[in-house]
Amino acid sequence: MRRVYLDHAATTPMVPEAIEAMTRQFATVGNASSLHGSGRTARRVVEDARESIAARLGALPVEVVFTSGGTEADNLAVKGAWWSGRAATDQPARAGVVVSAIEHHAVLDTAGWVREQGGEVALAPVDGGARLALAALADLVDERTAVVSVMWANNEVGTLQPVREVAELAAARGALSHSDAVQAVGHVSVDFGASGLDLMSCTSHKLGGPVGIGALVIRRGLELTPMLHGGGQERDLRSGTIDVAAIAGFAAAIEVADGDRAAEDVRLRELRAELTARLRTIAPDVVVNTPDDVATLPGILSVTFPGCEADAMMMLLDAAGIDCATGSACSAGVAEPSHVLLAMGRTERDARSTLRFSLGRSTAPADIDALIAALPEALARARMAGAVAGARVG
């Protein structure tokens, strides 16, 4: 059975260029922190990659700190900024963290940890299209706020956020600003320098690179408290032996993604529009959660099938050879309904009836055809499961 992969927001297939770049490094030896010839050769690979990645992100090379991925970068940004703000001696202590209600759990759970440590945490609301309410955010940020964290693009419904306005608001109140740009980099225009942000997280495996490598972009001159201590790598902000092969793969992947991003944007939006239209033909009552009146990622489509058990539907599609998701992959298997959809004003029942189809570089029209062919039976059987579940609740 040929599998149809429609879960690119969870992870993407590696591009050949990234595989080739990593393979070259697998055949060599050298710790990038060593001073001998092999170590210096490895270091050159890392620094060349850092320069390439920085250029694609609109950052300076010195601002790019490599991490194990987006989750570590988010933790370092939020915890590091909070620790630094709380410990500041030249100003009143800042022990507050403000995040949007639709953040990835890498940010939300980190904010929860801050609360457990005695910090103040506030959630900024969004509207029905998952767009941040800037006026509400402004009411939450004050002289006690250490960091404001708002994602660049939402991983479940695709909505882009007003990052520059968030950065300006935070700066005006003396707080640091961070954005989780894991879903955005490689898919929409991202310019760290122009954004005004202090901190920005990204990762490799969402754009055709390897899993296990990401970066936190830290504005030059900003002091951040590290989470890891040891050899002092990455400006003493992220100790640990540097993964040269993964960094080379990351650089190759972001170059490919950024190089044809405009063409891919058009292609994926056309595929998404076709999929949306055909879904509405099969299920006229389907509710599209990805907004069409604000900027969104090109490849994400969140849809609610009323009366349907999304978990059942996902498994039925899986049996038919189609990969999709019920929400964020990082919370798969958890019974809780999507916090993103709830923040948008959807009911728990709606949230439990929602699937996310995310398209990417390998998605072709034949994949849409395969999904549409498998959907009617899966939908009918999932609605039967939904009726049974509803009867039990009643």
End-to-end CA distance of the chain: 40
Reference 124, options 135, 111, 137; nearest CA is 137
Q: Which helix (H) or strand (E) holds 376?
A: helix 365-393
* pTM for the whole structure: 0.95
State mean pLDDT over 92-99: 87
Tell me, what's the pLDDT at 392? 53
pLDDT in tens, 96-140: 999 999 999 999 999 999 999 999 999 999 999 999 999 999 999
Tell me, what's the pLDDT at 378? 94
State mean pLDDT over 323-333: 69
Paired tokens of 22: 């990593």
User: Model confidence at 330, in pLDDT bands (50, 70, 90)?
Assistant: low
Give the helix ranges, DSSP H, for 260-364: 261-282, 310-319, 339-343, 348-351
Paired tokens of 39: 């170590």
Reference 355, options 310, 321, 322; nearest CA is 310
Categorise residue 107: left if φ over 0, alpha if ψ from -120 to 50, beta otherwise: alpha
State how far the Cα of 305 lies from the Cα of 383, in Å rounded to an integer.
9
**Between 290 and 91, where is the model more confident?**
290
State mean pLDDT over 348-373: 97
Q: List Cα–Cα distances, 251 to 12, 58, 66, 295, in angstroms.
A: 15, 14, 11, 27
State mean pLDDT over 64-76: 98
Query: Which residues lie below 8 Å from residue 323, measured CB to CB, with a gap of 6+?
Result: 3, 4, 5, 6, 7, 317
Paired tokens of 155: 């991983």
Reference 282, options 390, 365, 369; nearest CA is 369
State mean pLDDT over 163-183: 97
Distance of CA 11 to the CA centre of its chain: 10
State how far the Cα of 126 lies from the Cα of 100, in Å rounded to an integer.
7
State mean pLDDT over 198-203: 98
Structural domains in the chain plus CATH codes: 4-12+261-393 (3.90.1150.10), 16-259 (3.40.640.10)
Q: Above 90 in pLDDT, residue 391?
A: no
Reference 370, options 359, 354, 361, 381; nearest CA is 359
Tell me, what's the pLDDT at 1? 72
State how far the Cα of 159 lies from the Cα of 292, in Å rounded to an integer.
9
State mean pLDDT over 303-319: 94
State how far the Cα of 225 lies from the Cα of 241, in Å rounded to an integer.
19
**What are the beta bridge partners of residue 246?**
none
State how far the Cα of 311 lies from the Cα of 87, in Å rounded to an integer.
45
Paired tokens of 57: 């992100």
DSSP secondary structure, 130-156, as one string: S-B-HHHHHHH--TTEEEEE--SB-TT
pLDDT in tens, 286-307: 999 999 988 999 999 999 999 9
Inter-residue contact 15 to 212 (CB < 8 Å)? no
pLDDT in tens, 81-90: 999 887 765 5
Tell me, what's the pLDDT at 336? 81
State how far the Cα of 10 lies from the Cα of 225, in Å rounded to an integer.
29
Tell me, what's the pLDDT at 165? 98
Tell me, what's the pLDDT at 385? 75
State mean pLDDT over 91-97: 81
Paired tokens of 133: 């309410």
Four-point Cα dihedral 165, 169, 175, 177, nearest 10: -10
State mean pLDDT over 176-201: 98
User: Model confidence at 393, in pLDDT bands (50, 70, 90)?
Assistant: very low
Out of 202, 308, 324, 330, the active site residue is 330
The DSSP 8-state label assigned to residue 121 in this structure reads E
330 among known catalytic residues: yes
Inter-residue contact 334 to 391 (CB < 8 Å)? no
Categorise residue 111: left if φ over 0, alpha if ψ from -120 to 50, beta otherwise: alpha
State how far the Cα of 304 lies from the Cα of 286, in Å rounded to an integer.
6
Q: Above 90 in pLDDT, residue 387?
A: no
Inter-residue contact 65 to 238 (CB < 8 Å)? yes
Tell me, what's the pLDDT at 329? 53
State mean pLDDT over 207-214: 98
State how far the Cα of 298 lies from the Cα of 263, in Å rounded to an integer.
11
Beta-strand relationship, 354-358 and 300-304: antiparallel
Helices and strands, number each (H, E), in the chain? 13, 12
State how far the Cα of 342 lies from the Cα of 17, in Å rounded to an integer.
40
pLDDT in tens, 8-20: 999 999 999 999 9
Q: Does residue 5 sit in helix, strand or coil? A: strand
